Structure 1
Amino acid sequence: MLFSLYQYLESIDFPGVGMFQYISFRSGMAIIFALLMSTIFGKVIIRKLQKQQIGEVVRDLGLEGQYQKKGTPTMGGLIIIAAILIPVLLFGKLDNVYVLLMITTTIWLGIIGFLDDYIKVFKKNKEGLAGRFKIIGQVGLGLIVGLTLYFSDDVVVRMESPGDAETRQVTTEEVVEAPETKYVKAPVTNVPFFKENRFNYESVLGFLGDKAPYWGWIVFVFAVIFITTAVSNGANITDGLDGLATGTSAIIGTTLGILAYVSSNTIYADYLNIMYVPHSEELVVFMSAFIGATVGFLWYNSFPAQVFMGDTGSLTIGGIIAVFAVLIRMELLIPILCGIFLVENLSVMIQVFWFKYTKKRFGEGRRIFRMSPLHHHYQLKGYSESKIVTRFWIVGIILAVLTIVTLKIR
C-alpha cells in the first residue's frame, strides 16, 4: 500500500520518497515493523487469549515440566501471521505474483491451523481437525502454487549455457545482457553439488519423448504438493518444546532470505551460476517480515513460554518455508536447510513403522526411540528443555551455513 503511495508521490516529485524503490530499505522496514508488532502488540493478543481462557490442552506423556505448561495461551500463531501480513501489505508490491502466492499461503494454512486449534480448545477435542482435512487443505495449496508457477505468464527464469557468466561484462551500475540469454517458462530448479546446476521436472517423463513437455506440469505440481505437505507437517511436529520451532524457523528464514536476494540479483546469480528469477526480489521483503515475526514471537515463546503458536502458527510457518523455497527454485536444498524438520518427521515415521513391524512379528511392539518426535526422546534421557532447544538451534545454524556453502560446492 505504501509502495503505491510512493509511486504517486514520486510522480509529483515529493522529496525523500525515492528510498522506497530500494529493496534494502523496504526489507529493513518490514523487519522492524514485524518485530514491533510481534513484541508490542503480541502482549495485547496474549492477554486476550488469557482472558478467553484459550489455553494449551496437555496430555499425560510423563515428561518433565509437562503440567507446568497447562493453561498456557495457545493459538499464538495469530501473532506471527499478523506480524507477517501487515508489513508485507505496507511495504511490498501487491501486484507481484510471488508476493500474492506467499500471502495466499499464509492465509490458507493459517485458516487450517486455526480450525485445528479451535476444535482442540473450544470443542475440547484433543485430536483437533481430522488429518484428512489437513491433507486436503495442503494438497489444495500445492495445486494453487504449482499450477500458478507453471502456467502464469509472469513466472519465468533465465537460462544460460555454462560459461556465460564468465564471459559477460557487468558493473554495479549497468547489467549488460548477453545475446544468448533466454527467459523461459519451464519447471526447472537448481540442483546442489552439481556443476550443471539444473534439473527439469519434465525429464522424469523422458520416456514419453516429444510428449514429455505436455505432461511435465503433472510431475512439477506433484512435487510442489509433496514439498508443501512434508515441510508444513515437519514444522508442526517440531513445535513441541518452547522456542524450538520458532527459533529453527527464524534460522531457516534468514537463509532463504539470502538465497532469495542472490536469486533476484542478476550479478550474484551469474557469479553463483544459479537461475535468475525476475521480479522475485519482492520475496526478500516478505521473508524479512517473516524473520521479524518469528524472532519477535520468540520473545514470548522462549523457555518458559508465555504463549504457544499452536497449529495456527506451526502449519503456517512450515508452509511458508516450503512455498518460498519453491518460488526461488531452491526446493532441492530443503533436506539440508530443513534438516531439523526432516529428522523430526523421520523419527515419528521410523518409530511407528518399527512398533507395528515388531508387534506383528513378535506379538509385542518395540520402540527405537524412548519417545517420538526426537526432541521428546532427549527429554526422557534427562536433558533439560532449554538445552535441547539450544542444541537444535546450533544444528540448525550449521545446516544453514552448509546450505549457503552448497552454492559454491560444485
Structure 2
Amino acid sequence: MLYYLLYSLRDVISPLNVFRYITFRTAIAVITAMAITFLLAPETIRFLKRIGKTQQIRDDGPKTHFSKAGTPTMGGILIIISILVSVLLWGNLANKYVWIMIVSTFCFGAIGFLDDYLKVSKRNPKGLRGKYKFGLQIIVALTIGLIQYFDSSDPYRTMLIIPFFKKWLFDLGVFYIPFTAVVVAGSANAVNLTDGIDGLAIGLVGIAVFATGLLVYISGHAGLAQYLQVIYITGIGELTVFCGAMLGAALGFLWYNTYPAEVFMGDVGSLGLGGALGTLATITRHEIVLLVVGGLFVVETLSVILQVASFKLTGKRIFKMAPIHHHFELKGWPEPKTVIRFWIVGIMLALLSLATIKLR
C-alpha cells in the first residue's frame, strides 16, 4: 500500500523512484517486519500469559524442559501478522504470486491457530484431531496446486527442475497438483516437528528463507537468470519482498524465542512458516532445492517416521527420543549447544543450495 503511494509521487519527489527496485523494498520489508514484532511482542506476551495460553510440556521429554511450564505459546500470531502487514505495505499487490503466498501463509497459520487453541484452551495435548488437521492442510495445498496448474501464463507450471543440471526438466502434467500438495503440506509439518526447543525452528527458517530469497531474486531477474542459466519466470522476483518479510519476522521473533524463550511460536507459527516455505518452493520451481536448504527439517521428519516404524515393527526405538533434536539433548547436549550446532548445519546446507547455481 505504501509502495503504491510513495512510488506514485516519484515525479514530484524524485528520490521516491527508489521504490521501483525490488532490492530496496525487500530491505524495507525486513526492517518493517522486525519493527512490528518488536512493537507488538511485549504486550502480546503479557496478554498470552494473562489469559493462560501457556505451553504444555511433554512428560517423556528432557527434564530440563519442565522449567518451561507456564511459557506462553501461540506467539506465531506475531510472525504471521508481521509478515502479512510488511508484504501488504511494500509488495506489489498486482502480482498474482504475492497473493498466493499471502493466502497460503494465512490459511496454514489459521489451521495452526485452531490446533493451538484446542490445546491450550481445552487442555487437550493432542489439539485438533490428526485427520482434520492434515485434511485441512491437504485441501489448502491442493488448492495451491490447482491455481498453479491452471495458470496458463507460466510455461513451467508443471515442470520439475533438477537444480544440479542445466536442462533437466520433467513435465509432471496433471500429477503436479498432488506433487505440490505433498511438498507444501510436507514442508508445513516438517517445520512443525522441528519446533521443539528454544530458537531452533525459527532460526532454521530464517537461514532457509535467506538462501531461498537469493534464488528467487535470481529466478526473477532476466539478466541474472540468463547469465547463471536459471529458469526465468516473469514476475517471480516480487516474491523476494515476501522472503524479506519472512526473514524480518523470523529475526524479530528469535529475539524473544532464543534460550530461554519468553514465548513459543506454537503451531500457528510453525505451520504458517512451513506452508509458506513449501508454497514458495513450488511457485519458484525450487522443490528439490528446498530438500537441500531445509535438509534439517527433512532429517527431523525422517527421525519421527523411523522411530515410529521401528517401534511398531520391532518394539525397539532407534533414537532416545524423536524428533532427533531431543535425542541429542538426552545424550547430554545442552539445549543452546544443540540449537547452535543445528544452525551451523543449516547454514552449511544453505550454502550448498546456493552452490547448485554454479553446478549448472
Residue 406 of structure 1 deviates from its aligned partner by 1.1
Return the match for 2:161 from 168, 190, 211. 190
Q: Which letter maps to 2:299?
A: V
Is the contact made by 2:30 and 2:248 (CA closer than 8 Å) also made in structure 1? yes
Match of 1:371 in 2: 321
Contact 2:7 2:20 in 1 (8 A): no
1:134 maps to what in 2?
133
Q: Normalising to structure 1: TM-score of the pair?
A: 0.85
SS at match of 1:199: strand
1:2 — aligned with what? 2
CA positional deviation for 1:18: 1.1
1:143 Cα shift? Answer: 1.6
2:70 matched residue in structure 1: 71
How do 1:203-214 residues align onto structure 2 when only pairs under 5 Å count? none
Name the structure 2 match of 1:329.
285
Q: 8 Å contact 1:197–1:273 — kept in the other structure?
A: no
How much does 1:132 deviate? 1.0
Q: Quick one: structure 1 residues 260 and 62, their matched pair in 2 at CA, closer, same or farther if it must change by over 3 Å?
A: closer
Kindly indicate whether residue 329 of structure 2 is the aligned counterpart of residue 385 of structure 1: no
Alignment of 1:215-294 (within 5 A): 216-217=173-174, 219-294=175-250
Q: Which runs of 5+ in 1 are unaligned?
A: 157-183, 202-215, 359-364
Query: 2: CA distance between counterparts of 1:186 and 1:386?
Result: 42
Residue deviations 1:163-203, cap 9 Å, x none? xxxxxxxxxxxxxxxxxxxxx354114212223232221xx
Q: Which residue of 2 aligns with 1:341?
A: 297
CA contact (8 A) 1:38 1:293 kept: yes
Equivalent AA in structure 2 for residue 122 of structure 1: S
Counterpart-to-counterpart distance in 2, 1:273 and 1:128? 46
Match of 1:175? none
Question: Is this contact kept in 1: 2:79–2:250, CA < 8 A?
Answer: yes
Q: Identify which range, 230-239 or 42-51, moves more after superposition.
A: 42-51
- Secondary structure at the aligned position of 1:141 is classed as helix
Q: Which whole-Å CA distance do the structure 1 matches of 2:212 and 2:63 have between them?
A: 35
Report % sequence identity. Answer: 43
| AA matched with 1:352 | V
Once the two structures are TM-superposed, the CA of residue 253 in structure 1 deviates from its matched residue by 0.5
Aligned-partner residue type, residue 319 of structure 1: G
The alpha-carbon deviation at position 23 of structure 1 amounts to 0.8
Partner of 1:367: helix, strand, or coil? coil
Amino acid at match of 1:99: V
Contact 2:7-2:17 within 8 A present in 1 as well: no
- Measured in 1, the distance between the counterparts of 2:199 and 2:212 equals 20
What letter corresponds to residue 148 of structure 1 in structure 2? I
**Cα contact 1:64–1:379 (8 A) shared by 2:** no
CA positional deviation for 1:83: 0.9
Which digits, 9 at most, give the CA deviation of each residue in 1:11-69, with x for residues without a partner?
x6344321211111111110011111112321221111112121111121141311111
- Structure 2 residue corresponding to 1:353, chosen from 309, 315, 320: 309
Alignment deviations for residues 277-327 of structure 1 (CA, whole Å, 9 cap, x no partner): 111111000110000000110000000000000001001111111100111
- In structure 2, the gaps of 5 or more residues are none
- The aligned counterpart of 2:25 is 26
Rg bigger for which structure?
1
Structure 1's 104 and 186: CA in aligned 2 closer, same or farther, altered over 3 A? closer
**Cα distance, 1:62–1:28 mapped onto 2, change above 3 Å:** closer
| 2:253 matched residue in structure 1 | 297
TM-score under structure 2 length normalisation? 0.97
Cα distance, 1:139 vs. partner?
Answer: 1.1
Residue-pair matches, total: 360
CA distance in 1 between counterparts of 2:303 and 2:40 reads 36
String of CA shifts for 1:135-169, please: whole Å, max 9, x gaps. 1121112122111112124x42xxxxxxxxxxxxx
